[in-house]
Amino acid sequence: MAIQQLSLTHFRNIKAADIRPAGGLNLIHGANGSGKTSVLEAIWFLSLGRSFRSHQSQRVIQYEQEAFTLFARMGDEERLGFRRNRQGEVEARINGERPEKLAQLAKLLPLQLITPESFALLLDGPKARREYIDWGAFHSDPQFHLIWARCRRLLKQRNQLLRSQADDRQIAIWDKQLAHYSNELTLRRRAWVDSLNGVLKGIIGTFLPNVPVRVSFSQGWDSKTPIEQILESQLHRDKQLGYTVSGPHKADLRLRVNNIPVQDVLSRGQLKLLVCALKIAQGVLLSEQHQKQCIYLVDDLASELDSEKRTQLLSQLEQTGSQVFVTAIDPEQLAMMSWQRVFHVEHGQVTTKDS
Ligand SMILES: Nc1ncnc2c1ncn2[C@@H]1O[C@H](COP(=O)(O)OP(=O)(O)O)[C@@H](O)[C@H]1O
Ligand SMILES: [Mg+2]
């Protein structure tokens, strides 16, 4: 589903904006600091209730304002609203009603974000890759969120017990439950990575021909040993350390070329393309499995990519049939694409230009 109308009030340097994006490729251009990224950030907020560039949510509230408000109309019927004030109070609305959980917004508005920082997916630790897997599993399996949340809570409880030097028998009771949910979680993550591999191959083949990238799932503990056994045999060490060393919280996605981690072989441009391939694959899978379209947010498209690669990336995005928002400083660099709608941002003022 695409965003048909988007309104922002007191969000970063945007006092008020009301835009009508097209269902396909949208270009947002403007000088540095004009507010382009803020528009993408607002869409992100509406889905996830947080920013992608600051951990402090109040930072996005316009200086000297009490709160920011966002609104989006999706398709013909769905209306999403989100407001947050300086005290951290959040009000979310789906079609005028308060949702039970904020995660419902993310379900209605699935997003894929590509920014100059997206390299982190490949260069940083496993957390970002685990989140990548979990995004896919979350959107493809209705049970996933509940299982994921249970697992997280049980792990937290176990770590507390470890630190308080609780009795081994008491920990063993919790471990039984933890083992159960760890297996359920892992089953779903593995199934999702298997289907991902099916679509990823073709996309990587287009972006990085002749680079044999292999993607595999690592579950977070030795796959030949049942998790029950791992928890039991490592209990003593876990107690000494005060946390659980192995488990689903250590899962990872491994990306290798000729058995060498991609970050040690590929150039920055190639890494960026690989990140793009991963994100596009995620969206393609979602639409294949669930006939749901995710929206792509591509910030600062030109960074790290030459003109041929930019064209390739945009064509791939166009082929997904999804709504895409691309930001760029210089629209000339992207003149080769037929944009459905073009927006210009200047000092926080967003205007629609004829494309
Ligand atoms: N809370 C805020 N209130 C008002 N202006 C802000 C706030 N936070 C950031 N800004 C300003 O908003 C502008 C927009 O930033 P950004 O969206 O990153 O621009 P762009 O992506 O076009 O380079 C910047 O000039 C920044 O100084
Ligand atoms: Mg920017």
| pLDDT tens readout for residues 201-212 | 999 999 999 899
Query: How does strand 295-298 pair with strand 14-19?
Result: unpaired
Query: Is residue 355's pLDDT more than 70?
Result: no
pLDDT tens profile 281-298: 999 999 998 888 899 999
Whole-Å CA distances, 262 to 254, 279, 350: 9, 16, 39
Query: Residue 12 maps to which CATH number?
Result: 3.40.50.300
Query: Is residue 354's pLDDT more than 70?
Result: no
pLDDT tens profile 148-189: 999 999 999 999 999 999 999 999 999 999 999 999 999 999
Q: Which of 292, 313, 338 is the last residue of a domain?
A: 292
Lowest mean pLDDT among 178-187, 312-321, 340-349: 312-321
Mean pLDDT along residues 309-335 = 92
Is there a binding annotation on residue 269?
no
194 and 217 both lie in a single domain: yes
Give residue 127 CA to ligand 2 midpoint distance, Å.
24
Give residue 120 CA to ligand 1 midpoint distance, Å.
23
45 and 161 both lie in a single domain: no
Ligand 1 atom showing the smallest separation from residue 62 Cα:
3
Q: Are 39 and 101 in contact (CB under 8 A)?
A: no
Give residue 300 CA to ligand 2 midpoint distance, Å.
6
Summary mean pLDDT of the chain: 94
Give residue 71 CA to ligand 2 midpoint distance, Å.
21
94 and 146 both lie in a single domain: no
Q: Are 329 and 32 in contact (CB under 8 A)?
A: yes
Query: Is residue 309's pLDDT more than 80?
Result: yes
pLDDT at 76: 78
Q: Which of 237, 266, 292 is the last residue of a domain?
A: 292
Is the beta carbon of 37 within 6 A of some atom in ligand 1? yes
Distance of CA 293 to the CA centre of its chain: 14
Phi, psi of 69 (to 5 degrees): -130, 135
353 and 272 both lie in a single domain: no
211 and 164 both lie in a single domain: yes
Give residue 74 CA to ligand 2 midpoint distance, Å.
25
Is the beta carbon of 186 within 6 A of some atom in ligand 1? no
Is the beta carbon of 115 within 6 A of some atom in ligand 1? no
121 and 30 both lie in a single domain: no
Q: Which of 266, 292, 318 is the last residue of a domain?
A: 292
37 and 176 both lie in a single domain: no
221 and 270 both lie in a single domain: yes
269 and 167 both lie in a single domain: yes
Is the beta carbon of 299 within 6 A of some atom in ligand 1? no
pLDDT at 126: 96
pLDDT at 78: 93
Is there a binding annotation on residue 30?
yes
Give residue 33 CA to ligand 1 midpoint distance, Å.
6
Residues lying with their CB under 5 A of ligand 2, a single-atom ion: 37
Ligand 1 atom showing the smallest separation from residue 32 Cα:
23
69 and 161 both lie in a single domain: no
**Tally of domains in the chain:** 2
Q: Could you tell me the residue range of the domain that residue 135 belongs to? A: 113-292
Is the beta carbon of 12 within 6 A of some atom in ligand 1? yes
134 and 102 both lie in a single domain: no
Is the beta carbon of 35 within 6 A of some atom in ligand 1? yes
Residues with Cβ within 8 Å of residue 219, at least 6 apart in sequence: 186, 189, 190, 248, 251
Q: Whose atoms come closest to the Cα of 115: which ligand? A: 2
pLDDT at 60: 96
pLDDT tens profile 62-104: 999 999 999 999 987 899 999 999 999 999 999 999 999 888 9
Q: Can you say whether residue 218 is alpha, beta or left, with left for phi > 0 and alpha for psi between -120 and 50 degrees? A: beta
pLDDT at 56: 86
Query: Residue 283 maps to which CATH number?
Result: 1.20.1050.90
Whole-Å CA distances, 99 to 5, 49, 67, 146: 20, 13, 20, 16
pLDDT tens profile 122-154: 999 999 999 999 999 998 899 999 999 999 999
Best residue among 8, 11, 13, 37 to mutate for probing ligand 1, ranked by most atoms within 8 Å of CB: 13
Lowest mean pLDDT among 54-58, 269-273, 348-352: 54-58
Whose C-alpha lies nearest to ligand 1, atom 24?
A: 33
167 and 280 both lie in a single domain: yes
Query: How does strand 341-346 pair with strand 349-353?
Result: antiparallel
Positive/negative CA dihedral, 256, 261, 267, 270: positive
